[in-house]
Structure 1
Amino acid sequence: MSANDRVLIDQMIEEQRNSLAVPLSFDEVFERFACEHALHGFGLSEEEVAAGVIGGGNDGGVDGAYVFLGGRLLHEDSEILQTPSAAANVESGAQLTLWLVQAKKSTTFSELALDKVASTCTHLLDMSADETDLKVMYSEDLIARFTLFKDALRRLLKRHPTVLIKFSYVTRGDTNEVHTKVQAKAKFLESQFDKAFAISQGEVEFLGPVELWKRASTLPSYTLELPYQESITHQTSHLALVALGDYIDFLSDDTGAIKSHIFDWNVRDYQGNVEVNQEIAAGLQDPAAAEFWWLNNGITIVCSQATSVGKRLSLSDVQIVNGLQTSYTIHETLRQLYDTDPSDPVFTRLVQVRILVTADQAARDAVIRATNRQTAVPVASLRATDDIQRQIESYFLEHEWFYDRRKNFYRNKGKPASQIVSIPLLAQSVMAMGLGRPDNARARPSSLLKSNQDYRRVFSENTELAVYLWLAKTQRCVDEFLQTRPVPISRSHYTNLHFHLAMLGAVKIVGGVFSDPNKLKNAAREDIFPTENHLESLLDSLQEKFTDFQKEHNYGPDKAAKSREFVHYLTTELGYGSLPVGR
Structure 2
Amino acid sequence: MSANDRVLIDQMIEEQRNSLTVPLSFDETFERFACEHALHGFGLSDEEVEAGVIGGGNDGGVDGAYVFLGGRLLHEDSDVLQNPSAAANVEKGVQLTLWLVQAKKSTSFSELALDKVASTCSHLLDLEADESSLKVMYSEDLIARFRLFKVALRHLLKRHPTVLIKFSYVTRGEANEVHAKVQAKAKLLEAQFDKAFAISQGEVEFLGPAELWKRASTLPSYTLELPYQESITHQTSHIALVTLGDYIDFLSDDTGTIKSHIFDWNVRDYQGNVEVNREIAAALQNPTAPEFWWLNNGITIVCSQATSVGKRLSLSDVQIVNGLQTSYTIHETLRQLYDADPSDPVFQRLVQVRILVTADQAARDAVIRATNRQTAVPVASLRATDDIQRQIESYFLEHEWFYDRRKNFYRNQGKPANQIVSIPLLAQSVMAMGLGQPDYARARPSSLLKSNLDYRRVFSEKTELAVYLWLARAQRHVDEFLQTRPTPMSRSLYTNLHFHLAMLGAVKIIGGVFNDPNELKNAARESIFPSETQLESLLESLQEQFASFQLTHNYGPDKAAKSSEFVHYLTMNLGYGSLARGR
TM-score when normalising by structure 1: 1.00
Match of 1:256 in 2: 256
1:181-200 to 2 correspondence within 5 Å? 181-200=181-200
What is the match of residue 28 of structure 2?
28
TM-superposition CA deviations, 1:90-132 (whole Å, max 9, x none):
0000000000000000000000000000000000000000000
Q: In the alignment, which residue of structure 1 is the partner of 2:529?
A: 529
User: 2:139 and 2:555 mapped to 1: Cα distance?
Assistant: 18
In 2, Cα distance between equivalents of 1:218 and 1:389: 30
Task: Give 3-state SS (helix, strand or coil) of 1:225's partner.
Answer: strand
Which aligned pairs between 1:480-559 and structure 2 lie closer than 5 A?
480-559=480-559
Q: How does 1:275-290 map to 2 (within 5 A)?
A: 275-290=275-290
**Whole-Å separation in 2 of the counterparts to 1:181 and 1:537:** 52
SS at match of 2:99: strand
Deviations 1:533-568 (CA, angstroms, capped at 9, x unpaired) = 111110010000001000000111111000000000
Match of 1:229 in 2: 229
Contact 1:37-1:216 at 8 Å conserved across structures = yes
Q: CA-to-partner distance for each residue in 1:268-321, whole Å, 9 max, x for gaps?
A: 000000000000000000000000000000000000000000000000000000
* In 1, Cα distance between equivalents of 2:83 and 2:485: 39
Shift of 1:581: 4.7
| Rounded Cα–Cα distance in structure 2 between residues aligned with 1:77 and 1:300 | 30
- Letter aligned with residue 493 of structure 2: H
Q: Distance in 1 between matches of 2:487 and 2:208?
A: 33
Q: Distance in 1 between matches of 2:271 and 2:169?
A: 33
- Greater Cα offset, 477-486 or 100-109: 477-486
Could you report, residue by residue, the CA deviation over 1:509-544 in whole angstroms, capped at 9, with x for unpaired residues? 111101100010111111111111111110010000
2-side partners of 1:417 and 1:426: how far apart?
15
Q: Could you tell me which residue of structure 1 aligns to residue 351 of structure 2? A: 351
Counterpart of 1:467, as a letter, is V
Report SS of the residue matched to 2:189.
Answer: helix
Aligned with 1:409: secondary structure? coil
Is the partner of 1:579 in helix, strand or coil?
Answer: coil
Question: Could you tell me how far 1:479 is from its partner in structure 2?
Answer: 0.4
> Shift in Å at residue 22 of structure 1?
2.5
Query: Which residue in the other structure is 1:120 paired with?
Result: 120
Task: Quote the Cα distance in structure 2 between the aligned partners of 1:451 and 1:383.
Answer: 11
SS at match of 2:239: strand
User: What secondary structure sits across from 1:136 in the alignment?
Assistant: coil
Kindly provide the CA deviation profile for residues 143-189 of structure 1, in whole angstroms up to 9, marking residues without a partner as x: 00000000000000000000000000000000121000000000000
Matching of residue 96 in structure 1 with residue 96 in structure 2: yes
1:44 aligns with 2:61: no
Does residue 1:376 correspond to 2:376, yes or no? yes
Look up the match of 2:306.
Answer: 306
Offset, 1:491: 1.2
For residue 101 of structure 2, give the secondary structure of its aligned residue in structure 1. Answer: strand
Q: Secondary structure at the match of 1:410?
A: coil
Contact 1:102/1:168, CA 8 A, preserved across alignment: yes
* Aligned match of 1:438: 438
Task: Give the 5 Å matches for 1:122-521.
Answer: 122-521=122-521
Q: Secondary structure at the match of 1:257?
A: coil
Q: d(CA) in 2 for partners of 1:490 and 1:191?
A: 32
Work out whether residues 237 and 306 of structure 2, in 8 Å CA contact, stay in contact via their aligned partners in 1: yes
Distance 1:534 1:566 in 2: 21
Task: Determine the structure 2 residue equivalent to 1:72.
Answer: 72
Query: Helix, strand or coil for the counterpart of 1:137?
Result: coil
Q: Could you tell me how far 1:582 is from its partner in structure 2?
A: 3.8
Report the aligned-residue RMSD: 0.5
Amino acid of the structure 1 residue aligned with 2:113 = A
**SS of residue paired to 2:169:** strand
Match of 1:7 in 2: 7
| Counterpart amino acid of residue 515 in structure 1 | N
2: CA distance, partners of 1:221 / 1:438 = 38
**In the alignment, is the contact (CA less than 8 A) between 1:264 and 1:319 conserved in 2?**
yes
Residue of structure 2 equivalent to 1:58 = 58
Shift of 1:488: 1.7
Q: Decide whether the 8 Å contact of 1:565 with 1:581 is kept in 2.
A: no
CA distance in structure 1 between the partners assigned to 2:365 and 2:17 by the alignment: 35
- Contact residue 298 and residue 351 of structure 1 kept, 8 A: yes
Q: Deviations over 1:63-88 (max 9, x none)?
A: 00000000000000000000100000
- State the shift of 1:62 in Å: 0.1
| Corresponding residue pairs, total | 583
For 1:176 and 1:223, locate their aligned partners in 2 and report how far apart those are by CA, in whole Å.
32
Any stretches of 5+ residues in structure 1 without a counterpart? none
State, as a whole percentage, how many aligned pairs show the same letter: 89
Residue 485 of structure 1, CA deviation = 1.2
Question: Are the equivalent residues in 2 in contact too, given 1:190–1:203 (CA < 8 A)?
Answer: yes
Which digits, 9 at most, give the CA deviation of each residue in 1:340-389, with x for residues without a partner? Answer: 00000000000000000000000000000000000000111000000000
How far apart, CA to CA, are the structure 2 residues paired with 1:175 and 1:477?
39
Normalising by the residue count of structure 2, what TM-score does the alignment of the two structures yield? 1.00
- AA at the equivalent of 1:146: F
Task: State the distance in 1 between where 2:532 and 2:207 align.
Answer: 40
Amino acid at match of 2:332: E
The one-letter code matched in structure 1 to 2:407 is K
Taking the aligned partners of 2:47 and 2:295, their CA distance within structure 1 comes to 40
Q: Provide the secondary structure at the position in 2 that maps to 1:302.
A: strand
C-alpha contact (below 8 Å) 1:470/1:524 kept by paired residues: yes
Separation in 2, partners of 1:158, 1:193:
21
Q: Deviations over 1:477-519 (max 9, x none)?
A: 0001111112221111111100000000000111110110001
